[in-house]
Amino acid sequence: MNEITRVKVLVVGGGPGGYAAAIRCGQLGLDTLLIEQGRLGGTCLTRGCIPSKAIIHAATQFEEMNRVAEAPRFGISLANPPRLDFAATIDWKDGIVDQLNKGVAGLLTRAGVKVVRGHARFRDAKTCRVTSPDGDITVHAEHVILATGSVPVELPALPFGGPVMSSSEALSLTHLPTRMAVVGAGYIGLELGIAFRKLGVDVSVVEASDQILPHYDAQLVEPVVRWLERHGVTLHLGARALGFDASELAVETQSGQPLSLPADMVLVTAGRKPAVSGWDLETMALSRSSDFIRVDDRCATSTTNVWAIGDLVGEPMLAHKATAQGTMVAEIIAGHRRRFDPIAIPAVCFTEPEIVSVGLAPTQSDGREIVVARFPFLANGRALSMDGAQDGGFIRVVACKSDHRILGIQAVGQHISELAGEFTLALEMGSVLEDIAGTIHAHPTLGEAFHESALCALGHALHL
């Protein structure tokens, strides 16, 4: 039996963009149906951002206990090294995912959103057929919000399967490999590569660029490089992975010489691409820009009342961007005047140490005269008091020389991700250096380094 349903808003995809859009639609009184074939929360919640951060946290705890077992630190010692039950670690991670998944389901219910578990295929721009375990449903909608997200890029020489994995499979391992080769030194590859190294895995990294984290400048990357070198992570830069057999990854080095890397597992993190296949989106007459769906500053597509958000519409492919776009589209459908025009979208790498970047880097001044100043965590009491000052971390501010308008903020250091909100707010509010310098920051906190970086740019840092 094929049920026929008519709704005001149909949301396809229950990730951070889709479920946020659906919740906001419900809050605004719009009759809304959300279709999700997997678990609510999408890649970010179920097999990306959240589970990876849980593994990173557990790995850091394990590494710290191992260090204390080797030699006393802070007056703390352990008689024996810690033991790791990685399957139990995965169970703990899965518990966090389950809790958040149920939370999203509850929020959708509270907002009055109907959720259908199944796969949608479009017949035209406003009609789709949903194959569901409870029977097929045909949905007619006045508005459609596409939020299908993205999928890992598969390399022709390294098809996924068996020991060749994407980040999704790597986050569901129940036992650790002895040797791991990571192909791709972007933020996903390095976050997971560092976590597995902390857990005792022998890790090597293959990157086609001449630098790890190629979208960041050398100053920001240097502390991460030093951590990798100290912990025995082998970097092969300017290199290309050619294929994998049962125990070795074939690599072509920068000089063109062949190299074989022993590996029990290959983690391929060569980027992500928009998930546009499998929904028959070609029936919707959508304009494309490469693989992405083309939208305007309201996330409207070339087809009236069809909207696209998140990873589908281009870089940056970040969950918080998708959430902001989803809530905006809901409000537009409800009659509000909105457009997507953020001053800056923060990017965070949960490496060791962490990296935050918001706005323009010093090399992106576009011909404007700028002032650049950075304040090291070696001069910050909070960083020193939590043993987070020795890794070369700092906060750097980029401002226009003529009017002191802040154009960008970058930082690298332990727990620096927690300052991403303050950095972004400073840019969104149009802050000048004097605004930050004149704001009293609590002592002792890492935020004082932001205050001092502004003072430094003005020529009168107090603690440097």
Q: Which residues are catalytic?
A: 443
What lies within 8 Å, CB to CB, of 360 at 6+ separation is 366, 398, 407, 408
Q: How far is CA 458 from CA 364, 380, 397, 399, 452, in A?
A: 21, 19, 11, 10, 10
How far is Cα 334 from Cα 219, in angstroms, rounded to an integer? 45
How far is Cα 269 from Cα 249, in angstroms, rounded to an integer? 15
Beta carbons of 148 and 279 less than 8 angstroms apart: yes
| Tokens, residue 330 | 């809901």
* 426 backbone dihedrals φ, ψ, rounded to 5°: -60, -40
CA 306 to chain CA mean position, Å: 26
| Tokens, residue 249 | 């990854």
How far is Cα 307 from Cα 333, in angstroms, rounded to an integer? 10
CB atoms within 10 A of CB 390: 12
How far is Cα 113 from Cα 32, in angstroms, rounded to an integer? 5
CB atoms within 10 A of CB 114: 15
Instruction: Report strand pairing: 288-289 vs 114-117.
Output: unpaired
| Tokens, residue 211 | 């630098």
* 387 backbone dihedrals φ, ψ, rounded to 5°: 60, 40
What is 146-177 written as a DSSP string? E---EEEPPBTTB-SBTTEE-HHHHTT-SS--
| Stretch (H or E) spanning 348 | strand 347-349
What lies within 8 Å, CB to CB, of 378 at 6+ separation is 384, 389, 390
> Within the chain, how many helices (H) and strands (E) appear?
12, 24
